[in-house]
């Protein structure tokens, strides 16, 4: 009997109070180019990270800039509830966006993680 494949990180997002400054810093440091995308709640900078993982920079009211990894899951409601039972705080209940559903958990032992269920499942092994 084979074990299920582990969930994988599919997106990395920086939450910051300085969108422009963060974009310039990571471009100069790592050559991570950004593309501005206008959304309902403001703007977003998509990041080209140079591999199968994509990313972005979001300007928000955070007082502590942090990277938030997004992990692909098959059943967001089930996994979000599993996180709650394991002691996590649910910072964002599962909500639908244009390409899928997202929720955010804060672990009781440290760290935040976003869960992502795409409307069209990603093909494993292709990036």
- In the chain, the domains with their CATH numbers are 8-66 (3.10.180.10), 73-120 (3.10.180.10)
Q: Is it the case that residue 52 has pLDDT exceeding 90?
A: no
Percent of the chain beyond pLDDT 70?
Answer: 90
* Residue burial 32-41, b: 16+ Cβ < 10 Å; e: rest: bebeeeeeee
Rounded to two decimals, the pTM is: 0.81
Write the burial class of residue 99 (CB in 10 Å: 0-12 exposed, 13-18 middle, 19+ buried). exposed
DSSP H stretches of helix in the chain = 19-30, 76-85
Structure-block tokens of residue 104:
């955010």
Whether 1 shows a pLDDT value over 80: the answer reads no
Give the strand pairing for 100-106 and 66-72.
Answer: unpaired
Say how many C-beta atoms besides its own lie within 10 A of residue 113's C-beta: 19
Q: How far apart are CA 109 and CA 117, in angstroms?
A: 24
Residue 123 pairs in a beta bridge with: none
pLDDT at 78: 96
The C-alpha atoms of residue 19 and residue 10 are separated, in whole angstroms, by 21
pLDDT tens, position by position, 87-112 = 999 999 999 988 899 999 999 888 89
């Amino acid at each position: 009997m084979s074990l299920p494949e582990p969930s994988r990180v599919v997106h990395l997002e920086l939450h910051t109070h300085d969108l422009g400054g963060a974009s310039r810093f990571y471009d100069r440091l790592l050559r991570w180019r950004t593309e501005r995308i206008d959304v309902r709640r403001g703007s977003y900078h998509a990041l080209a990270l140079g591999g199968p993982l994509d990313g972005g920079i979001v300007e928000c009211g955070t007082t502590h800039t942090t990277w938030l990894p997004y992990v692909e899951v098959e059943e967001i409601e089930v996994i979000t509830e599993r996180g709650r039972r394991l002691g996590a705080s649910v910072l964002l209940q599962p909500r639908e966006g244009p390409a899928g559903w997202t929720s955010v958990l804060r672990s009781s032992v440290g760290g935040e993680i976003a869960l992502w269920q795409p409307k069209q499942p990603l093909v494993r092994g292709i990036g």
